[in-house]
Amino acid sequence: MNTENKSFTPAEIKNLWQTPKGLFDSLDMEFCFTGDVAANHDNALSENFYTESDDALKQRWFKVSWCNPPYDNISPWVAKAIEQHKKGKTVVMLVPSDTSVKWFKDAFDSCNEVRFISGRLSFINASTKKPVSGNNKGSVLFIWRAYCKSRSVSLIDRNELLGMSL
């Protein structure tokens, strides 16, 4: 059993949270995503996406991939992002800001850009389409840019990222 991210969320919805649309749209404007590698028919925000039955961990990822992976086992998603980046792909991944786990260090050490998000995100319940408050961790974006050698770490404001005025 993986204990990296303990959660009390009911199992049937635990890995089905949708990324807030404002956050996705803001990043899509910057990166022009060609697909989402961790979605389903209820929570996909990109026209092209892989579902659980597609098994994105066995697929070639899109040229510019969005990834909000299932939080119960993030390690293989980070490993796949690193692999795909080495093959010339760009990957933007939204994960909990949890520096105590191995995958966090792996992602931090291998990506080009880290954006810590100040403030907590309210993810969207995929079945009700309503925001769910109570996220008990901050979030971070790990960005692996194709063919990029530069490195940056920054703190971005949640409201700005969500396209909301302060």
pLDDT by position in tens, the chain (length 166): 344 445 455 544 555 676 878 889 999 999 999 999 999 888 889 999 999 999 999 999 999 999 999 988 999 999 999 999 999 999 999 999 899 999 999 999 999 999 998 877 766 666 666 666 666 678 899 999 999 989 999 998 888 888 754 4
Distances 60 to 11, 63, 83, 120, 164 between C-alpha atoms, Å: 28, 9, 10, 31, 34
CA-closest candidate to residue 140, choices 153, 159, 127, 124: 153
- Rounded CA Rg of the chain: 15
How many CB atoms within 10 Å of residue 135?
A: 15
Q: What's the confidence (pLDDT) of residue 82? A: 98
Q: What is the distance, to the nearest Å, from the Cα of residue 124 to the centroid of all Cα atoms in its chain?
A: 14
pLDDT at residue 161 in the model = 85
**Cα–Cα distance, 164 to 166 (Å, whole number):** 6
CA–CA gap between residue 157 and residue 13 (Å, rounded): 27
In the three-class reduction of DSSP (H, G, I as helix; E, B as strand; rest coil), residue 18 is classed as: strand
Predicted pLDDT of residue 80: 98
Of 113, 120, 5, which Cα lies nearest the Cα of 69? 5
CA distance 23 to 139: 12
CATH class entry, domain 21-161: alpha beta
Give pLDDT, residue 43.
Answer: 84
